[in-house]
Amino acid sequence: MSKNPEFVKFDKVDKSYDGKVLVVKDLQLDIAEGEFITMLGPSGSGKTTCLMMLAGFETPTHGEILLDGNIISNIPPHKRGIGMVFQNYALFPHMTVYENLAFPLRVRKVEKDEIDKKVDKALSMVSLSGFETRMPAQLSGGQQQRVAVARALVFDPAVVLMDEPLGALDKNLRESMQYEIKHIHESIGVTVVYVTHDQSEALTMSNRIAVFNDGKVQQLSNPAELYEKPVNSFVAEFIGENNTFHGEVVDIDKDKCKVKLANSEILANPISVKSKGEKTTVSLRPERALINPTDKMDNMFTGKIEEVIYHGDHTRVRLNLLGSSEFILKVPNSTSNLELKVSQDINIGWNSVDARALDPK
Amino acid sequence: MSSETKQILTTDGIPLEVSLKKAEKKNKIKAFLLVAPLLLFLVITYIFPIGDMFMRSVDDRMVTNMLPKTFKAMEKWENLEELPPEEVYRGFYEDYKVLVENQEHGKLGQRLNKEKNGFNTITKRLFRQIKRNKIDESISIKEQINKIHKRWRNVEFWLAIKRTAPPYTMAKYLKGMDMYVASDGSIAQVDEDRRIHRILWLRTLEIAFFVTLFSFFMGYPIAHLLATLPMKYSNLLMICVLLPFWTSLLVRTASWMILLQQQGVVNDFFVMIGLVGDDNRPEMMYNKVGTYVAMTQILLPFMVLPLYSVMKTISPSLMRAGKSLGGTPFVAFWKVYFPLTIPGIGAGCLLVFILAIGYYITPALVGGASGTLISNQIAFHMKTTLDWSFASAMGLMLLTGVLVIYWIYNKLVGVDNIKLG
């Protein structure tokens, strides 16, 4: 069985609630069968609206949504066969765990034996066997979340939507649930559309991530590429930490450009700049800049340490470099015992490949 | 040893429990003082009057106090088929003499006459004999009284006196259910054409039931709309729902009279749009229709508010979950939304039903002949016949009825599930 690369398709979808502001603008997005795709973005970026349109609770103002080649815009939610996990779990408080899981099967008129079997299987999948007779209020937040996941999967939907499902959990539980959901996805191969504003969650779980801002997909790529190669300054800022320099391109060739800052010049990798004289924002990941580099690097500067913050596995160092006192370095604690002290001068170097000259912000 | 180690001590060596009680005592006293005024208010305005009502409704001490010696002697009267022994006659004679001196003998005659017809005559005869000092206390009183009138020789009359002996009576309650104690002591029903109270009880229940039903069917969608509309619309709607609250009951009822009467606004409208002929205007007032319409409108807020407060807490994502899991909108509503509103339904129905059971101004004004409910009857006896003990008895029966409904409701739904807001 070959996987359909356009299993879910948003085709030029617009959405407006009030006729004045477009919440989603000309959305073009293909989701492959069996894929785990995450919609990531700040609140108000339109990601939840996209999910609601896919689930059928909102109708697109313009454009079509296709599921397995069929236009679904006119199909009511209960006929779409899409499982959904809600932000606040939305477990039915007056039903036991068993009844919650049996609900989607009962409305589909599945036989009693079959229901028992499927509920059993779904509960063991989220390691909650034996909790059938509990009421949702008797479960912890993590358990409720797992019941919600099991309920969205128990009727074998083609697509499962998850709307910030881990938002209400504490940090440790959230991390373990991330792996659990990821493993469930890998073992049953269902298509998952996941919405979150938490970038680490998105990076951990997804096959591909669609970064939303201002109603548009800014970048759609796998986690590594998204982090390493952001295509614009919004993505670079939103995903991970980021050092930025604002300047003007003074020289450009195929894979290098010279950017003039306030009182110095740096070499960068031209991503979205084309010609001399353009304004640009240069983005550099903190871990790509090294202290006292041994290799020959094409950007070498001296900075003054403003602040040293111990973080356990690494130390964050804030430098005054090239006229900005917001330059951040991440120094792993295991490798060396560098004696970093405030107001000490250190040499910093990075390769121009890692300094991405993006659109000005 | 083991029990000593189980007791936890504070650092001062005082047992923890003692220390805790001491620490909480002050808070408990404070809390009690806070509720004390309310408690006092409730006792004075609620518990005490209800107790007083109960006492009035069963009080029958008049005869008991008038004939102490008679009833004392009657304890020895064993064979109830025969006339009582000499001691009873003597006791009755002595009691009656005291009453004559205090000029209270007339009251006794009237009271006993209610118990058995014909008493008035024979007590008056006895009174005359005593006044003329015709009774010789040195010989048998029994023979002398028996000679006064043949009814004194009838054991039925003596049994009637004996029946009035207990200081308390259930007669008023029986009357409220159209029953009475027959002369042989058994409980009998009044004649069919005089059974007025039972009709009133049933009518009261019927009207309360239907008003509750109508309020529910009208209030549920309103409450749902209130809970789901955006704030600016829901506030406006809320004001519309609460408007009846801010209008006087009489004004509201009078407005319904203007609207519903045969030459009223509604009828005029029906005629105008040609729904009914001008000479064929339907009667919508002075019958049950009027009562239902007016009472439903007046009691609707009591249904809407508890429902609204419950619906407000139901997350809209539950309905969405129901739909996304494959339930049609109806299934999602019926299996998910509706069960979650049951606490509000319970509270609203209980509230409306209990209020409706005690209503009387509105049905009396717009209900016409069918508008007399049990509370009208209570008011009638309080104000017109001044039979307060009967009014109290019916009031207590109404209260008991409400408590029974509450108890049944508790069995069915559970009072913990009620949510008033």
pLDDT digits (tens, 9 = 90+) for B97-124: 888 888 888 888 888 887 788 888 888 8
Question: Which chain A residues have a beta carbon less than 8 Å from that of B339?
Answer: 94
Cβ pair B317:A93 closer than 8 A: no
| Inside any domain, residue B99 | yes
Cβ pair A57:B329 closer than 8 A: no
Which one of A86, A91, A119 makes the best mutation probe of the B interface by having the most chain B beta carbons within 10 Å? Answer: A86
My answer on whether B14 and B78 are in the same domain is no
Number of folded domains that form chain B: 3
Average pLDDT over residues B58-65: 83
Question: Which chain B residues have a beta carbon less than 8 Å from that of A90?
Answer: 315, 317-318, 320-321
The band of A1, judged by pLDDT with boundaries at 50, 70 and 90, is very low
Which residue is closest to A99 within chain B, CA to CA?
B335
3-class SS of residue A234? helix
Last residue of a domain, one of B58, B82, B105: B58
**Model confidence at B2: pLDDT above 60:** no
My answer on whether B300 and B334 are in the same domain is yes
**Model confidence at B370: pLDDT above 80:** no
Average pLDDT over residues A258-284: 81
What pLDDT sits at residue A242? 83
Residue A240: other Cβ atoms inside 10 A: 17
| Inside any domain, residue A148 | yes
Q: Which amino acid type is present at position B167?
A: P
Cβ pair A107:B328 closer than 8 A: yes
Query: Tokens 């008038």 sit at which residue?
Result: B66
Range of the domain at A354: 241-358
Question: Which chain B residues have a beta carbon less than 8 Å from that of A94?
Answer: 339-340
Nearest CB neighbour to A104, from listed B315, B326, B339? B326
CB pairs under 8 A between A and B: 69
pLDDT tens, position by position, A91-118: 999 999 999 999 999 988 889 999 999 9
Last residue of a domain, one of A233, A251, A278: A233
How far away is chain A from the Cα of B419, in angstroms, using its nearest Cα?
15
What pLDDT sits at residue A102? 92
How far away is chain B from the Cα of A334, in angstroms, using its nearest Cα?
47
Q: Which amino acid type is present at position B406?
A: Y
Cβ pair B317:A77 closer than 8 A: no
| Inside any domain, residue B178 | no
| Inside any domain, residue B336 | yes
3-class SS of residue B75? coil
Average pLDDT over residues A12-25: 85
Question: Which chain A residues have a beta carbon less than 8 Å from that of B328?
Answer: 78, 107
> In degrees, to the nearest 5, what angle opens at C-alpha B82 toward C-alphas B80 and B85?
90
| Inside any domain, residue A172 | yes
Which one of B324, B330, B333, B337 makes the best mutation probe of the A interface by having the most chain A beta carbons within 10 Å? Answer: B324
Average pLDDT over residues A127-139: 88
Range of the domain at B82: 61-167
Which one of A57, A153, A164 makes the best mutation probe of the B interface by having the most chain B beta carbons within 10 Å? Answer: A57
Q: Calculate what percentage of chain A has a pLDDT beyond 90.
A: 9
What pLDDT sits at residue B212? 95
| Inside any domain, residue B184 | no
pLDDT tens, position by position, A277-330: 778 888 888 888 888 777 777 888 888 888 888 888 888 888 888 777 788 888
My answer on whether A95 and A226 are in the same domain is yes
Nearest CB neighbour to B326, from listed A87, A91, A108? A108
Q: Calculate what percentage of chain B has a pLDDT beyond 90.
A: 15
My answer on whether B77 and B34 are in the same domain is no
Average pLDDT over residues A203-222: 88
Cβ pair B320:A84 closer than 8 A: yes
How far away is chain B from the Cα of A220, in angstroms, using its nearest Cα?
27
What pLDDT sits at residue B415? 65
d(C-alpha A331, C-alpha A310), whole Å = 10
**What token pair was written down for B16?**
């923890």
The band of B418, judged by pLDDT with boundaries at 50, 70 and 90, is low
What is the spatial order of strands in the sheet that A36-40 belongs to? Answer: A82-85, A159-163, A191-196, A36-40, A208-213, A216-221
| Inside any domain, residue A333 | yes
| Inside any domain, residue A262 | yes
Average pLDDT over residues B123-145: 84
| Inside any domain, residue B188 | no
3-class SS of residue B213? helix
Number of folded domains that form chain A: 2
Cβ pair A90:B321 closer than 8 A: yes
Residues of A with CB under 8 A from a CB of B: 55-57, 76-84, 86-88, 90-94, 103-104, 107-108, 151-152, 155, 161
pLDDT tens, position by position, B210-241: 999 999 999 999 999 999 888 888 888 888 88
**CA B298 → CA B55, B195, B236, B364, distances in Å?**
34, 31, 19, 14
B409 versus A160: the higher-pLDDT residue is A160
My answer on whether A285 and A328 are in the same domain is yes
Residues of B with CB under 8 A from a CB of A: 315, 317-318, 320-329, 331-332, 335-336, 339-340
The band of B366, judged by pLDDT with boundaries at 50, 70 and 90, is confident
My answer on whether A150 and A253 are in the same domain is no
pLDDT tens, position by position, B138-172: 888 888 888 888 888 888 888 888 888 788 888 88
pLDDT tens, position by position, B173-214: 888 888 887 766 678 888 888 788 888 899 899 999 999 999
The band of A252, judged by pLDDT with boundaries at 50, 70 and 90, is confident
| Inside any domain, residue B408 | yes
Q: Which is it for the CA torsion A220, A224, A227, A231, positive or negative?
A: negative
B309 versus A340: the higher-pLDDT residue is B309
Cβ pair B340:A56 closer than 8 A: no
My answer on whether B201 and B131 are in the same domain is no
| Inside any domain, residue A3 | no
Identify the CATH number of the domain in which residue A334 sits.
2.40.50.140
CA neighbor of B226 nearest in space, from B341, B354, B349: B341
3-class SS of residue A46? coil
Which residue is closest to A78 within chain B, CA to CA?
B326
How far away is chain A from the Cα of B301, in angstroms, using its nearest Cα?
27
Which residue is closest to A101 within chain B, CA to CA?
B325
Question: Which chain A residues have a beta carbon less than 8 Å from that of B317?
Answer: 86-88, 90
